[in-house]
Amino acid sequence: MSLIFAVIALCLLAISHSTYAAGPPVVNLRTAANFTILAASGVSTVPASAITGNIGLSPAASTFLTGFSPVLDSTGTFSKSTQVTGKLFAASYTSPTPSILTTTVLDMQTAYTDASGRTLPNFLNLGTGEIGGRILTPGLYKWTSGVTVSSSTTFSGNSSDTWILQIAGTLTMASAKTVILTGGATPANIIWAVAGGVTIGTTSHFEGVILGKTGITLQTGVSMNGRALAQTLVALQKATVVAPS
């Protein structure tokens, strides 16, 4: 009988390990998760970009949605663009859009504060800020300066694992590089909390949710699975951005 209990215990242990999520607790985006692109002062595009999901802008007005040629819906609450599979919302649109966006931007700021304020990092100043060529396992990463991605880098983990990358300076990814996901890792669980500006170089491929304290620029031909959520502006240059499921 004791052998049977031992076998059962081993099976339960195997199940618990198979479902265990490694990494820090998930960052709750709240209503900011309803947007692929979100900014406070402006969202611009050099056509033609391709955005899957919604774009939000507040407290700036719709005149700061530049390059999209938006067409206002008859309700006045949102607009459409041929570059966006989704809707564009701005603080100057008809109620209830302004109040919804106010809440959403506050949720974005709260998420940034949460992610950037996590303590006891698993990795401190890894690679002195150069993470190109590295394999990043689940965990909390902290850099007291900027981070560069000069060559392709890999996030390795399962679909439940999480990563938070706290960057006190800028985030710069070189052109024609790739963020690679292996083992089932998902972009929704990779949070880049960046205090400085973010620049993703031409034709590079990026994965994850960027919570930017300042601006985010996706240069010509960039593709991204994730979200670009900036407390100032987001600039797109013929970029393709798809929100994670």
pLDDT at 245: 80
71-121: pLDDT as tens digits: 999 999 999 999 999 999 999 999 999 999 999 999 999 999 999 999 999
pLDDT tens digits, 11-60: 444 444 445 789 999 999 999 999 999 999 999 999 999 999 999 999 99
What pairs with residue 80 in β-bridges? 71
Residue 232: phi and psi, rounded to 5, are: -125, -95
User: Taking the model in full, what pTM does it have?
Assistant: 0.92
Tokens of 174: 């070189």
3-class DSSP state for residue 16? helix
Residue 115: phi and psi, rounded to 5, are: -65, -45
Burial 66-79 (b: 16+ CB within 10 A, else e): ebbebeeeeeebbb
pLDDT at 3 over 70: no
- H helices present in the chain, as ranges: 2-19, 97-117
Q: What pLDDT sits at residue 7?
A: 41
Write phi, then psi, for 31 (nearest 5 degrees). Answer: -70, -15
Instruction: Compute the distance between CA of residue 46 and CA of residue 49 in angstroms, rounded to an integer.
Output: 7
Q: How many CA atoms lie less than 13 Å away from 190 in the CB half-sphere?
A: 27
What pLDDT band is residue 176 in, cutting at 50, 70 and 90? very high
Contact criterion met (CB below 8 Å) for 151 and 132: yes
CA pair distance 119, 106, nearest whole angstrom = 22
In the chain, the percentage of residues whose pLDDT exceeds 70 is 92
- Summarize pLDDT for 139-171 with one digit per residue, the tens: 999 999 999 999 999 999 999 999 999 999 999
Whether the per-residue pLDDT at 132 is higher than 90: the answer is yes
- The tokens describing 2, both together, are 């004791």
